[in-house]
Structure 1
Amino acid sequence: MLHVHRSESANTLVTALAGLLRDPAPGADPFAPDVLAVGARGTERWIAQRLSHHLGAGDPAAGGGDDGICARVDTSSPAHLLDGVLAAALERTRPGTGDAVERWAPSSLTWDVLEVLDEIAPADGGPAPDGRPEFALLRHHLRHHPGDDGPGGPGGPGTPPVRRTAAAARVAGLFARYGAARPQLLADWAAGRDDAPGAPLPADLRWQPEVFRAVRERVGLPAPAELLDDACAAVRADPALSDLGPRLAVFLVTRLATSRLRVLSALAEHREVHLLLQHPSPALWDATAAALRADPGPRRAAWAAHAPGRHPLLRSMARDVRELQVRLAHAAPGHTDVHHPAPEPAPTLLGTLQAALARDAEPAPGPDPGDRSVQVHACHGRARQVEVLREVVLGLLDADPTLQPRDVLVACPDVETFAPLVSAAFATDSHPGGGLRVQVADRSALRTNPLLGLAVRLLGLAQSRAGATEVLDLAAAAPVRRRFDLDDEDLEQLREWTVAAGVHWGLSARHRGAWQLGSLDQGTWRAGLDRLLVGVAVGGAVEDDLVGRTGDDGLLGAVVPLADVESSRIDLAGRFAELLDRLDAAVTRLQGRHGVAAWCDALLDAVLDLADTAPEDAWQVAQLRRELGVVAHDAARAGTARVGLTDVAATISERFAAHPQRANFRTGALTVCTPAPVRAVPHRVVCLLGMDDGAFPRAGGPDADDVLARDPHVGDRDPRGEDRQVLLDLVRSARDALVVTYSGRDVRTGAVLPPAVPVGEVLDALEAAHPGVRARIEVHHPLQPTDRRNFTPGALGTDGPFSHDGTAFSGADAGHREPAPVPPFLPAALPPAPAADLDLDTLVQFLQHPARGFLRQRLDVASATREEEPDDALPVQLDALQKWAVGDRALAARLRGVAAPEVVRLEGARGGLPPGPLGAAVLREVGPVVDAIAGVAAEFDTAPPRSVDVELDLDVPGVGQLRLTGNVRGVRPVRGGGRATGEVAVTTVYSRVKGKQTLRAWVELLALSAAHPGTEFRTVLVGRGDRGSTGLLTLGPVRSDAARDLLVDLLELRAVGLRFPLPLPVDTAAAWAQEAWRGRAPDACLRAARQAWTSDFSFDKEDRQEENVTVWGAERPVEHLVRWEPPTTLPPGVPTTFEGLVRRVWEPLLGVQRMDER
């Protein structure tokens, strides 16, 4: 007999269940377990905990009630239990058909369908064996699916259209849906009756019966739906066909498929079958029972006119339980029905809503205006929702000392997206919420097992171009890091090597062949690795010193060694090479078309080659083997279908993502999970997180290929209707408070956004019953947690401050105080720096950038370097800086005597040029400039260059005696009329001759002249000039005594500049000095300085340089420098104005400067 037990409360149902289980069923083995099928995953532990309060518990009056135990109860899911009964009945009544249930499961049937689809539309593009017109639409879809693995795709030429397996899985899912909801449909198709009862099958669906029969023939077993009537009749006739005991219970279901309901009804013929339902409204149950007498028929549309229920939420959200009642009446007309009344809800806003649902009537008079049992919070985006939820939960815990975190449930439709936000928000040590235990339950195994994630990532990488960032991300995965012993510093070094080696995408030229670029090795991982390993082989040599060296080792002639590979990093280079080699081997294995088992073996080998786990994480390997084994097993039962990478990747990825881990519910922590598993479990506080429009209920309309969707019947699955039922159950399961958060404003634009439609319906129902209540319970939160409203009592719906965030309060308080004036970078001058000997380069660097010199040389503060990130795209067009780098390298090679063709080969091997003709165009642009500069520099090539040492003892005012030492390179004798007339230090640059290079040449000239008074020196700068010319800047000569005095002046300025920053940015000062030297008015000098200082839209200038921003402020106008005043009294003779400083540095230089254009 089927006994239906219903109640509005799951707690009440557990009490009723405990009464059933307290004593063994009549005639049953007292030691045999009772079977309990639980309709919602995640409720098993709660049921066991609640049953332990009843089974074996002592008398509560005597101090018992919590000392019981839940034993002798086996739990299962209704689907697993009833499918097992059906399989056993089939095997016993028709031997050999017991496997039909498993063989016709979608996971296994997909591969049979794939074989049939390959026959209808061969994967190789060849003609079909026959031209049956009913397959024309399906054949067109299979051969014209968007996207393909053809030429340029990862599968190479001739591979079939993308996602053929997805189409097969979809068809298999349709057949499973038909068999569960309308088994007679498949029975009719098997018998050749294609038209649906009462209506012909639409023309665009006529391919389905034919495919079904072809699949049926291939499987070799009838579909379970065909045998359902015989199996149920056998179970009714012979209860021994099932091994189940004389009593079983099905707990907390809202829908049962037709096939399973019929099996359940058959079991009830000779057994006690108890169906325990949480139903929101006894009045609705009675109204539905009355409507059954009208018998509107099986179609859902016919029932719409007779749908009972007066409360709007029952009419819009209770369809699943209403239709289950209808189907129970038809499947088991003699069942008993027992209502177990639930306790009356509290007289709160939430309680009046629950009571109104139970009575299917208008709610009672309005609750206390201060009632907060229903709260709706509109926020700016997901992260803000989590922050608001944290404050709400803390507020509820503070307000009620009896409330514990385990009493709070957070149900989130998109738990994968919100899980990291929740973990971050509740793990902040500075916030009181950081002390709460939070458990994110029922996440997919893909998120909890790194090896599964690595497997999916490998499948994706095998289909991709293996870009630089993608491979580096793979190397950063925890299992890969462990296998190759990579720490954070190692990963940073790999990133730097990748950038320096010019790696962009492609494991090798062979790998690039799939994209028709097999002849181009430039920028591949293989080319980059060769550069790295040759760099290891040649030690610390600079790459340019090895250009053109072939000798016995021809590799150096084809590979540009990576420079400066430290000896301490050789082991890391070896590990990186091994990683890339194993990755290349894995990607090679994961190509072509193979059987699914072979794919799973190849993927397992690839993961284990690249990953390692700690001993305590051995379960991760076991789970990976198990999951891949299931995929291979399902496919093996179907045959030997050979599939491509795209299809098997989609199949494995979907299985890993959809298969949940063991649910961590009822652990004593605040639980965050998806709504369905705990929909009926009572909690004192139920929070609905992320109830955004579009996120809930699930998106998607009827499937155009679904026969059932063309004419829905009562009980047919509807995901959106199921989600509405879930929301109704959650509203009913909340005892003290219901909290809803949603994105009420766009986080970028601030545009108003509505909540999820069902949430809006709940608000509308409350507003209709209690006018004005929505404005009171719906709170619109500010964008930032530092907004003062978060801490203003009553501003956000609470009597006291809403937020508990002390850090945010400090921010809010600071934001409303009068801002303090920005203090100067240096309130007062520092004491003089201790006297010390000085290197010539140190003096040059200070003069080239006085702000940087002050920070580095006095404060020992280095500015952050801008790290270049890997680029996944081959360069097709170089920007100005990249072209400069090419020209600079080419010029340096030419000056060392490397021939032009060798320079071209060098740049191609380095990977800094665009490929092919695009790179040739860059060299055509750069080459003439390089030739012109090198030609002018060659005029001074009268003798081999030499280095001249400088060592000077100088007496600097305010500093004392110091020794200036250094070395000047590129010095050659100047010959005229066959005899020496002095010496010249030649510097050749690809850049334009500007202030930075000029100052170095000037200081070197002064040092040479002062240190070697018997020789006349000049310095020469050769670089790019204006309008395509070559610039030739000559400085000197300077008398030795004058040079010493000028060096002392510069050293004195440096000494002052180490006490406080000097306003002498090199380009700005040079621009002012040039105009002043020409006799221009101060306004003209200011304009020139402003142009050199101020950035424009296309180029950052000195006002945005990090050190200048630090010292002078962000984007200060040049007038800020011009009006500079020293913070202390300066020594006599030291200029006290910007203009005076400029003249001190630049006037002597300009007096001996000559600029020629060639």
Structure 2
Amino acid sequence: MKAASFKGTAFLLYLYQSNHLDTLQILLSKVMALQAPENPFTQQQILVQSPGMAQWLKLQLAEQQGIVANVAFPLPASFIWQMFHLVLQDVPEQSPFNKEAMSWRLMRLLPQRLQEPAFSTLKHYLLGEQESEDIDSRKLWQLAQKIADIYDQYLVYRSEWTSAWEAGDDLNEVSESQPWQPILWRDLVDDTVSSMDSLYHRGKLYIDFVEQLRVASAAPEGLPEQVFIFGISALPPAYVEALDALALHCEIHLFLTNPSEQYWGDVRDVSTLLKQQSDISQVGNPLLASMGKLGRDYIELLHPLNKQETDIFASNVNEQQAPSLLAMVQDDILKLQDPIDYQKFDNSLHKRQIEPDDCSVQLHLCHSPRRELEILHDQLLAMFEQDPELNPRDIIVMVPDVNRYGPMIQAVFGSTSAETRLPFAISDRSATQENPVLLSFLELLALPQKRKSAAELLALLEVPAIMRRFELAEDELKSLRQWVREAGVRWGLDGSDRSRWQAPEDETHSWLFGLKRMLLGYAMPSEAGLHQGVLAYDEVQGKIALAVGKLADFIDQLMLLEQQLLSAVNAAQWRLRLQNLLSNIYSFDSDDETEQLRLHKLFETLVEQCSSSGYMELVSPELILDYCRNQLNAQRGSQRFLAGQINFCTLLPMRAIPFKVVCLLGMNDSEYPRSVPSMGFDLMAQNPAKRGDRSRRDDDRYLFLEALLAAQDTLYVSYIAHSAKDNSEQTPSVLVAELCDYIGQSCVLKGDEQLNVDQSAKRLLTHISCEHPLQPFSSEYYQSQSDKFSYAQRWLPAVAAQQQSKAPEPIEEALLNEGYIADIEMDELLAFSRSPIAYFYQRRLKVSFPRLSEQLEETEPFLVEGLAGFSMKQYLLEQQLNNADKKQQFALLHAAGSLPHGGFGEVSFEQQWQDLEPLADALFPLLAGGLVKRQQLALDLEYLHEDGLQQCRLSAWLKNQYAQGLVSYRPGSIRGKDLVAAWLWHLVFHASLPEQALSSYVLGRKGAWQLSPLSAEQAKEYLALWLSHLQQGLHQPILLPIESAWQWISQCKDKKTGSIEYSEANLDKARRAARNQFNGGPFAQAEGADPYIQAQLNDLEAIWPQFEASAQALLGPLLAHLEEFAGV
């Protein structure tokens, strides 16, 4: 293009078209330089469609011009309103017919018309069949917003309707199905005019604006000399007409991205041509015809304007080298050509060849959004490895809804190792998703609608600004979480709060209940009994007990807040309430300043909108919550687009800025194009469409086309092809399917030219597609012959576990060369006996697998079961053995919150008390006389090991000795590990005190056992065997799951004769029993699910010889000395 002087020409509207946005940007820079205002303080105006486009333009212009200053980047709507204000008189700064203003007015006007026949449908929606005329204010507000949105669309796209309605013409042919709309519109206009000096709305403004400019002999004062419009995909017809009129008095430079250098205003897609019974060869380019309707209609709107055109189109195909698949597709669109031959089917010689190493178009088939991101991370790492010149800023990742993907993006890209970390930024997230202050503010507003469970309120308390307000430290919050759980807090602030949920007005398990217990526990112990019906919680002690006072302050503030949130007040009073909420609940610092200002601005906006709209009625708490949620969710977060990192964003208009790599995720048929059903009373949807009307599906189709054209090197597309639940097939977006069909029918993989068109298409699509496994640790990613790969080293242990044989891996030799322990405490031997494998990991490797933290319960107990049930049974059994008063124990457990409410609690307590009475009766004679004084025992033992005879001293404090012998008991079934522990104590007792030939007893609710006396020599022999295994277990794990081993050995004893036989029949039964215990079942917990056992064993099949030998050696003597006890 040669430079031109624009002054004095016949045209003041200039149209620049190119298929490359960066070409248009360079042209914009040159035109701005040529048209620089004489006054350097004159601000230049560049209209853009999104802040992202403005950011990109700033960076590009600054790079080319050295500096960009005094340039505004308004959005079209705000610029047009600014022009209205300059050209016309009495135009307010803010339109009284914006959606928010109309919504508040409709809130007041709509109820006044509900009794009229024309409004019967709205009345039925708002009131239903109820006789009362009390309208749900939240429902009315939501309806008013929808109606205001529809009227706003009419003002832009059907201003002739609103003008006719104002003149008294209802346009029955248009509004016959919704007769209330003209009536309500006139009410809205009359109400607005009566309260304001200006009667302008956008529909009338466009008409007056255009007329004023066309009759004006000179440019109105204040109009800019030039206006630049850059990269806007489409403008409404009214905007185009307004800009055309503006071009009579100032230069309008319109920079338009046009996908094709050919005229394509008459291009139609195949389905339209088939409906018209036309030749499908007239389609031009199928992709442009199918996806380009939005751009086509916009170009047609611009076509009749009096303008000067400058076209600068350039092909992406480099004549010096073979074009990539992506470049071919883009070039076809540019030249409006259809390379598909609809007449040839037998071979693919007519198709264009694609090199086998061409990766310019990639399609990845995944199982979930998280897997999409994990796969993308690996693929991007591969791209960086292959192209050293590729930078993070050269990559954009677009998804249909970034709010849905945001947490997973952070989880995948933000948790990688330093070697594989990629810089990234997430744009377009709602402000509430980015900042916990805003989210917690909405949670607080919804307080009356919530149960206030322990988890909900502690989550609020974890917000940093709230923690600062109540001066809570991290360790205090951790203690509070434990105390809240153990003190019995479940839900509800107090009894009255619980009653609002149709629950009994009982404060048990409420926050007040738990706080009373915690505060009383600081003053007195629980052993002192009940104090005014409250049982003290004992754990609140020391300086950290101050945290309970801080928690009490927090709950007090929530109680006061909830009382305020139960009544309606006007907007000004709501502002005061919400400001008090912030000051009472939060303590903001510099990091929260933006959110604090955002919230205060929200409160002011609420008052201003209600005041300007004349809405002085009471506003309900539900409406305030809905209003604040909508306003905050509509606001974007602070993350800047194009911040020099990999950009994650939502697919939005004109996000198709040129990038080397464009990635589109979530391209499923159900997700994209996004479907927004029209409202049932939308007259635009019920009447014939006009050119320039907006359609969300057409917008999304054009966005996909723009993204396709914006990719300079690689177009990366992924979608969820299979369900992660059942692997069922999922359908890709129709746009992805169209692109794949186009590629398959127009191109062929080099070497497949002799195949028929369908076969070659299938092979080519297989080449550009990659179907990924469900799990990131699939072995497919770590095989040298596989075309799949992963850079995630953290999955290697899982892959190794999949690939290892079922036999355990041998332990490192270094672990075998350690010395032996000369002194062993009894607790060490007992720990080994409970789980030899866990003992090896914890004692030798110093590895502990953390238990899952206990979850906060959110409902009061209806059944007493699990660990809580066992603890209660244990407590009740001890109380029975101490002859405690039954009624008193019921009162204490009720006060502790351990029992279900009401009659359920009484029934539960009575049942458990009765269930334990037989066990207590059996224990009374065994425990008669009380415990014998504890004795410290020390045994010097010798045991044979592979290195020879070893010496060891075993030390123990003898416990549970009564006059009848050693007694242990539990209020449940007796497990194998209970018997083993009793057996070890039995051995220590007889090895140390051979003169006391007493039995040992193990009693449970469902069975009782007795261990017969044995000699000191036998006891020492059996202990030596255990110590030998313990020493071996320090050097390598003893593969003996105790419960499975006990089930195995138990099957080898004849119940009639008492003999132990290891016959084939017994071994078969024993192995079945061991497998069942190891693998679990519907009513049995799997011992193999223990994390320590899982680290060594997949199942028992490969270790039977070692397993059986250890079980015989260690548990055989126990079984031989064990007999049933008839005490229970």
* Interval containing the TM-score (normalised by the shorter chain): 0.7 to 0.9
Aligned residue pairs, count: 1055
**1:191 and 2:167 aligned:** yes
Q: Kindly provide the amino acid, as one letter, of the partner of residue 498 in structure 1.
A: V
Aligned with residue 966 of structure 1, among 957, 965, 968: 957
Given that 1:468 and 1:505 are in contact with CA atoms closer than 8 Å, whether structure 2 keeps it comes out as: yes
Question: What is the CA–CA distance in structure 2 between the aligned matches of 1:343 and 1:831, rounded to whole Å?
Answer: 75
- How far the C-alpha of 1:688 sits from its partner, in A, is 2.3
Alignment-derived partner of residue 207 in structure 2: 229
Q: Is the 8 A contact 1:830 1:1060 kept in 2?
A: no
Q: Confirm or deny that 1:98 pairs with 2:89.
A: no
Whether contact under 8 Å (2:994, 2:1016) holds in the other structure is no
Give the letter for the 1:966 counterpart: W
Q: Secondary structure at the match of 1:470?
A: helix
Indicate if the aligned counterparts of 1:955 and 1:1048 stay in contact, CA closer than 8 A: no
> Is the CA contact 1:1094–1:1117 (under 8 Å) kept in the aligned structure 2?
no
Q: 1:274 to 1:820 in 2, by over 3 A?
A: same
Decide whether aligned partners of structure 1 residues 905 and 1070 sit closer, same or farther in structure 2, where only a CA change above 3 A counts: farther
Query: By how many angstroms is 1:511 displaced?
Result: 1.8
Cα 1:882–1:325 shift into 2, 3 Å? same
2:694 corresponds to 1:717? yes
Asked if the contact 2:425–2:648 (Cα under 8 Å) also holds between the matched residues in 1, the reply is yes
Structure 1 segment 46-57 matched on structure 2, within 5 A: 46-52=56-62
CA pair 895-207 structure 1, distance change in 2 beyond 3 A: farther
Which amino acid in 1 is paired with 2:297? E
**Secondary structure in 1 matching 2:648:** strand
Q: Look up the SS of the partner of 1:741 in the other structure.
A: strand
Q: SS in structure 2 opposite 1:517?
A: coil
SS at structure 2 position matched to 1:673:
strand
Correspondences of 1:692-707 after superposition (within 5 Å): 692-707=668-683
**One-letter amino acid of the counterpart of residue 681, structure 1:** I
Deviation at 1:1097, TM superposition (A): 1.9
The alignment partner of 1:991 has SS state of coil
Change (3 A) 1:1025 1:859: same
Report whether the alignment pairs 1:375 with 2:347. no
Give the secondary-structure state (helix, strand or coil) at the position aligned to 1:1059: helix
1:38 matched residue in structure 2: 48
Q: Assess if the C-alpha contact under 8 Å between 1:356 and 1:362 holds in 2.
A: yes
1:274 corresponds to which letter in structure 2?
A: H
- Alpha-carbon distance between aligned partners in 2 of 1:1155 and 1:792, rounded to the nearest angstrom: 62
For the residues of structure 2 that align with 1:42 and 1:865, how far apart are their CA atoms?
46
**DSSP 3-state at the match of 1:178:** helix
Q: CA offset at residue 595 of structure 1?
A: 3.4
State the 1:699 CA deviation: 1.6
Q: Could you tell me which of 84, 106, 114 is aligned with 1:113? A: 106
Distance 1:909 1:954 in 2: 48
- SS of 1:107's equivalent in the other structure is helix
Letter paired with 1:740:
V
Q: Give the aligned residue type for 1:737.
A: T
Of the candidates 1056, 1065, 1074, which is equivalent to residue 1028 of structure 2? 1056
Please state whether the residue corresponding to 1:1060 is helix, strand or coil: helix
**Pair 1:898–1:592, CA change in 2 (3 A):** farther
Aligned to 2:243: 264
Q: 1:627-642 to 2 correspondence within 5 Å?
A: 627-638=602-613, 639-642=615-618
- Indicate if the aligned counterparts of 1:1068 and 1:1092 stay in contact, CA closer than 8 A: yes
Question: What are the superposed Cα offsets for residues 733-771 of structure 1, whole Å, 9 maximum, x if unpaired?
Answer: 333333322233334444443322122223333334335
Q: Could you tell which deviates more after superposition, 657-666 or 898-907? A: 657-666
Identify if the C-alpha distance between structure 1 residues 377 and 941 changes in structure 2 by more than 3 Å, giving closer, same or farther: closer
TM-score by length of 1: 0.80
Match of 1:761 in 2: 738
Which of the residues 216, 219, 222 maps onto 2:189?
A: 216
Q: Which amino acid aligns with 2:96?
A: R
Instruction: Tell me the CA shift for residue 726 of structure 1.
Output: 1.7
CA contact (8 A) 2:397 2:647 kept: yes
Partners of 1:14 and 1:1047 lie apart in 2 by 92
Deviation at 1:706, TM superposition (A): 0.7
For residue 515 of structure 1, give the secondary structure of its aligned residue in structure 2.
coil
TM-score between the two structures when normalised by the length of structure 2: 0.82
Preserved contact between residue 951 and residue 963 of structure 1 (Cα < 8 Å): no
Query: d(CA) in 2 for partners of 1:353 and 1:963?
Result: 81
Cα deviation for residue 136 of structure 1 reads: 1.5
Q: Give the structure 2 partner of residue 417 of structure 1.
A: 404
Q: How does 1:56-135 map to 2 (within 5 A)?
A: 66=64, 68-90=66-88, 92=89, 95=90, 98=92, 101-119=94-112, 131-135=115-119
Q: 1:230 to 1:1118 in 2, by over 3 A?
A: closer
Provide the C-alpha distance between the structure 1 equivalents of 2:699 and 2:1091, rounded to a whole number of angstroms.
61
Distance 1:1023 1:726, change over 3 A: closer
Separation in 1, partners of 2:359, 2:368: 23
Distance 1:674 1:953 in 2: 72
Q: Aligned residue for 2:546?
A: 571
**Residue number in structure 1 paired with 2:772:** 782
1:322 matched to 2:296? The reply is yes
Q: CA deviation at 1:338?
A: 0.4
Alpha-carbon shift at residue 405 of structure 1 (Å): 3.2
- The one of 322, 335, 341 equivalent to 1:359 is 335
* 1:80 partner amino acid: S
Matched, 1:207 2:184: no
**Whole-Å Cα distance in 1 between the matches of residues 1059 and 991 of structure 2?**
33
Query: 1:697 touches 1:723 (CA, 8 Å); kept in 2?
Result: yes
SS at match of 1:44: helix
| Corresponding position: 1:623 with 2:598 | yes
Whole-angstrom CA distance in 1 between matches of 2:966 and 2:152: 86
Unaligned runs of 5+ in 1: 54-65, 122-130, 151-156, 291-300, 797-801, 972-981, 1127-1137
- Aligned twin of 2:1005: 1024
Is 1:732 the counterpart of 2:726? The answer is no
What is the percentage of aligned positions where both structures have the same residue? 23
Asked if 1 retains the 8 angstrom alpha-carbon contact of 2:976 and 2:1046, the reply is yes
Change (3 A) 1:1103 1:345: closer
Partner amino acid, structure 1, of 2:160: Q
From 336, 345, 348, the counterpart of 2:316: 345
Q: Is the contact made by 2:16 and 2:24 (CA closer than 8 Å) also made in structure 1?
A: yes
- The C-alpha deviation readout for 1:437-464, integer Å capped at 9, x for no partner, is 3333333222333322222333345422
What is the distance in 2 between the residues matched to 1:81 and 1:398?
A: 45
Choose which of 248, 252, 257 in structure 2 pairs with 1:278.
257
Question: Which residue does 2:754 correspond to in 1?
Answer: none
Aligned partner of residue 935 in structure 2, secondary structure = strand
Please state if 1:437 is matched with 2:423: yes
Give SS of 2:569's match: strand
Unaligned runs of 5+ in 2: 1-11, 269-274, 341-350, 749-759, 944-949
Q: 1:192-229, CA deviations, whole angstroms, 9 ceiling, x for partnerless residues?
A: 32225xx24233x2222233233334433544424543
SS in 2 for 1:642: coil
Q: Name the CA shift for 1:501/1:947 in 2 (closer, same or farther; >3 Å).
A: farther
Tell me, yes or no, if the aligned pair for 1:460 and 1:649 is still in contact at 8 Å: yes
Secondary structure of 1:504's match? Answer: coil
Alignment of 1:582-593 (within 5 A): 582-593=557-568
| Matched residue type, 1:911 | G
Q: Tell me how far apart the structure 2 counterparts of residues 708 and 818 of structure 1 sit (CA, whole Å).
A: 65
Question: Does the C-alpha gap of structure 1 residues 857 and 624 become closer, same or farther in structure 2, counting only changes over 3 Å?
Answer: same
Aligned counterparts of 2:1058 and 2:924: Cα–Cα separation in 1: 35
- Is the 1:951–1:1011 contact (alpha carbons within 8 Å) kept by the matching residues of 2? no
C-alpha distance in structure 2 between counterparts of 1:1000 and 1:814, whole Å: 36
Counterpart-to-counterpart distance in 1, 2:1004 and 2:703? 75
Q: Is the 8 A contact 2:58 2:68 kept in 1?
A: yes
Question: 1:711-733 CA distances to partner (integer Å, 9 max, x unpaired)?
Answer: 22221221111111222222233
The residue that corresponds to 1:1129 in the other structure is none
Select the residue among 23, 33, 42 that pairs with 1:22.
Answer: 33
Moved more, 1138-1147 or 1115-1124: 1115-1124
Contact 1:432-1:805 within 8 A present in 2 as well: no
**Distance of 1:1089 and 1:791 partners within structure 2:** 36
Matched residue, 1:901: 887
Distance 2:66 2:1001 in 1: 97
- Indicate if the aligned counterparts of 1:833 and 1:858 stay in contact, CA closer than 8 A: no
Residues 447-458 of structure 1 correspond to what in structure 2 (within 5 A)? 447-458=433-444
Separation of aligned partners in 1, 2:880 and 2:388: 81
